[in-house]
Amino acid sequence: MQALGTIDRRDQLAALSDEHRLAILRRLMCGPSTLSRLGRDFDKHPAWVRHHLKRLEAVGLVEPAGERTTGNYTEKFYRAAAGAFSVHLLVAPATGSRNPLMVLGSDDFALQILASDLNEGPGDVDMVPSAIGSLDGLVALRQGLADIAGCHLLDAGSGEYNSPYLRHLFPDRSVEMVTLAHREQGLMTAPDGRVTVADVRDLPGGGLRFANRNLGSGTRVWLDARLRELGIAPESIEGYDRELRTHTDVALAVASGSADVGLGIRAAADRFGLRFTPLFMERYDLVFAAERAEDEPFARLRNRLDSKAFRSEVARLGGYDSGHTGDGVLIDG
């Protein structure tokens, strides 16, 4: 019996949706038991116990644990397949593809172009990006919920993007880190110029309403590190606790007037006709398990990244640089 098991299939989750089966599993996590003993524990007929026990066994949550023979009577013991279980189940968008390639992580316009290009190409694999934030994307990759993680996490100590986080999260596994693009981040404000900000130092005070990104996003990681460096208390920024999931959401908040300023990529500001004050360039990488690099979907992805057509598409986005698109680094676990 393993110490910690993973519930990562829908049939397993469905089996545990019944409160009686959940109770039986929890009882068996304490130690092996028989049908008759479980019947006494739950005040139920052994046939009732057997019905639920076989369902749990069929989905791999319960397993045989030996037999005991007394005279002419043989009784089977059962136990939980693990001492405890964690639930890791991803509900993915329906694409019609038999093999959706899930990309979880940071919001990015070049990633949207890449997904569109691959999905229109040959084969039955669709790329499905979902913006959940850079750090959560890497965690999802670690847990097996994502095929690819998209991230732009700055390590303040080393000044490096992404690789320090990969070495920390994947000490026992090799992953490949491939550059999607470099892109420009900065402050977005209304086009009429009524709000003027030159740096994050200008965010506290003055009644400016800030549109922030969600915890775990690369943009938020950069901002929080910069605020610590400058000695600025986050609570001194009005709207700091207003978390938005994508760069488009931030740009829309500024364009609609519900926020005065937001931090995000130039391409999002351009899309809504906003003023943009550049602050820094960053690297956005795609990360996946090294052993999958030769699989057909990943070979298609690399070929597309290396193509002149894709790099030209990316270069046309405001604030994007495709000069290192497709560059790969192996991070050995």
Buried b (16+ CB within 10 A) or exposed e, 85-106: beeeeeeeeeeeeeebbbbbbb
pLDDT of residue 186: 97
How many whole angstroms separate alpha carbon 258 and alpha carbon 256? 6
Q: What is the pLDDT of residues 35-56, one digit of tens each?
A: 999 999 999 998 999 999 999 9
The DSSP secondary structure of 93-133, one letter per residue, reads: PP-S-SS-EEEEE---HHHHHHHHHHHTSSSS--EEEEES-
pLDDT of residue 123: 66
Q: Which regions in the chain score pLDDT beneath 50? A: none
For the whole model, what pTM was predicted?
A: 0.78
3-class SS string, 241-292: CCEECCHHHHHHHHHHCCCCEEEEEHHHHHHCCCEEEEEEEEEEEEEEEHHH
Q: In order of start, what are the domains of the chain with their CATH numbers?
A: 2-87 (1.10.10.10), 101-331 (3.40.190.290)
Quick one: which of 212, 161, 184 has its CA closest to 277? 184
Instruction: Please count the CA atoms within 13 angstroms of the CA of 275 that sit on its side-chain side.
Output: 13
pLDDT of residue 247: 95
pLDDT of residue 73: 79
Q: What is the pLDDT of residues 150-165, one digit of tens each?
A: 999 999 899 999 999 9
